[in-house]
Structure 1
Amino acid sequence: MKQHLHSLAPTWEVAQWFNTEQPLSLESLRGKVIVVEAFQMLCPGCVLHGLPQAARVRQAFSPVQVEVLGLHTVFEHHEAMTPTSLQAFLHEYRIGFPVGVDQPDGRGGPPRTMQAYGMRGTPTLLIIDGHGRLRHHHFGQIADLSLGAEIAELILESKSFSGQDVSP
């Protein structure tokens, strides 16, 4: 499923961060295109497609223009997917980009960021433009070429807004 959106992205509610020295926020990343891979470590589509694709995006685009991060959004099997298990998972799968643990809602329902973004499950890919607007929301898989085109379009858009030269 693919949605095109242009509203401000909701704030992330993260209980803990991995692979970053400082907590990340939409405000701290303003000016960059942000690619968020929402996943669960026991989700086959996440492990086989979503996380490897996020790693490829991180390799393909400049970190000056694009920030890739993961959001571990646990809505089932809570006892198996603890932060300690996630830390081992990130090490074993060599996930080097920042990963936040979505804040549980405290009532056994979907975590808070998952609710705020209206995610239906995992893998979910969110793309936020340089102005902090949620521009794409993909549930399930998206082809690398389509994703790359969406990211490149937002990079060019943000450059044209800032007055930077956008010629190749």
Structure 2
Amino acid sequence: MALNDSLSPPLQVSQWFNTPEPLTLERLRGRVVVMHTFQMLCPGCVSHGVPQALRVHGLFPRDEVAVIGLHTVFEHHAVTGPAALRVFLHEYRIPFPVGIDQADTASPVPLTMQAYGLQGTPSVVVFDPAGRVRLSHFGQIDDLQLGAVIGQLLAEARPQPSLEGAPRPAGVAGGSPCADGACGVDK
């Protein structure tokens, strides 16, 4: 996982669904954000990306992990507009916020997709609680791999307990019980 120290570019969204007000990455700071980009006519998105986003949304606490969808259309523009997306979101029972990536008048590739250098759909972008991109993956990503990234970011965000003054396990003398890659029992 490469850490990008700069903050992420803003999302350029023309319309939001499933949220009372437009979302920004700044408003989501403090949480891990998992952004799944998709097109409703993309077979990989429908069979893998959208179901994975639903699983992540259902698995992690919402105050720690936010899932957002980004409908980023770079083909079939005439049949994938907001009305069709509204029906798609209803039929697939997608409860999390979904934005429509802002079209670029000079290119078929939408603006947020360009800003993040995305290669296509499905793609997943994971932001740490500070708003930095920590994972950007094109194509299918295994649930376990994605879960490990999310878990690592959640662990990094939690305060780590101090071990100073903690009681030592029985049989362990003062000093470090482990050396040279092995731990022995103090006799």
Q: Do both share a fold (TM > 0.5)?
A: yes
| Structure-1 residue corresponding to 2:42 | 43
Shift of residue 107 of structure 1? Answer: 2.1
Cα offset for 1:108?
3.8
Matched to 2:74, the amino acid is F
**Larger Rg: 1 or 2?**
2
Residue 25 in structure 1 maps to residue 21 in structure 2: no
Q: Which residue of 2 aligns with 1:67?
A: 66
What is the alpha-carbon root mean square deviation over aligned residues? 1.4
Structure 1 contact 5–137 (Cα < 8 Å) conserved: no
Query: Which ranges in structure 2 are unaligned for 5 or more consecutive residues?
Result: 163-187
4+ aligned runs moved over 4 Å, structure 1 = none
- Distance of 2:10 and 2:161 partners within structure 1: 31
Paired-residue identity, %: 57
Q: Separation in 2 of the partners of 1:47 and 1:56?
A: 13
Does the 8 Å CA contact 1:4/1:137 hold for their aligned counterparts? no
Distance 1:58 1:165 in 2: 28
Of Structure 1 and Structure 2, the greater helix share is in 1
**1:147 aligned residue:** 146
Aligned counterpart, 1:132 = 131
Q: Partner residue of 2:115?
A: 116
Greater length-normalized contact order (CA 8 Å, ≥ 6 residues apart): 1
Equivalent residue for 2:77? 78
Kindly tell me the number of residue pairs found equivalent between the two proteins.
161
TM-score (norm 2): 0.83
Distance 1:5 1:114, change over 3 A: farther
The whole-number CA distance in structure 1 between the counterparts of 2:51 and 2:3 is 25
